[in-house]
Structures are given as C-alpha cells and as structure tokens.
C-alpha cells in the first residue's frame, strides 16, 4: 500500500482499561522510530473529531476496547464490515458520539480511509482509576506486535528504537 497511514488510540485514561488505546499509541511512540507517512494520534475521547484525522488516509488503525464475552486481554481485529455488528447509539448531543458513530459519519462524509482496522481489547476493569488491569498490561505488548506486523504488511516499516543501557 505505502501511502498515508494513521494509528489512533482512543479511550478515557481515567477509567482504567478504557484507556487501553491511548496507552498503546503512547508506547508505540516510545518504542519505535515512526516513518513520516505514519501519523500516530493520542485520540482520548475524540468523538466526531476523529473524522479530521481520517481525511486523506489510505490506512487507519483505531485501537480501543470492546465489550465482548471473551476473556479480559483478548485482542480482536475488525474491519469496516465487522463494525456492522455494533449498534449505533442515537447521540443525545454533539458531544455524545462514540467510535462507531464517528466512523459511520466519516463514511457518509466521504473521508473514510481506503482500509480500516480496529484493534480492540476486551477490558476487565472500567472503574474510575489510572492504569491498566494485569490482562490489559499483558495485551499491550501483543497489540504493539500486531501493529508492527500490520503496518509492515502495508509497506510502512517500523523500526524499534535502541534501548538505553
């Protein structure tokens, strides 16, 4: 593919495992030298603002959590067709848009990337607090390995930074 790519981590760091996506992109920036064609965004709770980052991207990878019956720490990958299984909620205000709603709106607005992947972890603990539960701390390294492999497949090589001794 070798075009413009985006990795965006979304979630709320104040709700433990809900912040998984943000933790992943922060570690991605810390551990890898990023090529110029890759934009990495700490998306926090972007909502509809996500659309601005999707514009003119050939590949977008969104990292988040997903409510599934699988064990905590399980990583799941969805493409745009896989998003159809998630219910779109009717927002109560312009600040009440979630990831699925924002992605569907991007498609409607004509700014959907050529290829979309959602890398989602099954959370254990969404209660108020900082830090990830043990299963999601373990899933973080697997998420980075998946991102490295996926981006390499798409012609966007990541180079690990040298560890300081």
What's residue 89's pLDDT? 37
Among candidate residues 147, 125, 135, 129, the one with its CA nearest the CA of residue 24: 147
What's residue 92's pLDDT? 39
Q: 10-residue block means of pLDDT along the chain (165 residues)? A: 84 92 96 94 77 84 88 90 54 49 70 85 93 97 96 92 70
What's residue 99's pLDDT? 65
What's residue 79's pLDDT? 83
Q: Which fold has domain 5-160?
A: Rossmann fold (3.40.50)
pTM: 0.84
Cα(61)–Cα(147) distance, rounded to whole angstroms?
8
What's residue 149's pLDDT? 95
What's residue 164's pLDDT? 62
């Amino acid at each position: 593919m070798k075009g413009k790519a985006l990795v965006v981590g979304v979630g709320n760091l104040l709700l433990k495992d809900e912040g998984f996506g943000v933790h992943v992109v922060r570690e991605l920036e810390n551990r890898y030298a990023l090529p110029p064609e890759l934009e990495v965004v700490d998306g926090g709770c972007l909502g509809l603002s996500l659309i601005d980052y999707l514009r003119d991207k050939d590949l977008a990878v969104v990292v988040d959590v997903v409510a599934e019956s699988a064990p905590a720490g399980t990583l799941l990958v969805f493409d745009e067709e896989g998003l159809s299984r998630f219910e779109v909620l009717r927002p109560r205000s312009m600040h009440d848009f979630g990831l699925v709603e924002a992605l569907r709106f991007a498609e409607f607005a004509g700014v959907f990337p050529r290829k979309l992947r959602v890398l989602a972890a099954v959370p254990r603990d969404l209660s108020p607090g900082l830090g990830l539960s043990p299963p999601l701390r373990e899933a973080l390294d697997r998420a980075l390995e998946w991102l490295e492999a996926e981006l390499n497949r798409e012609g966007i090589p990541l180079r690990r930074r040298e560890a300081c001794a």
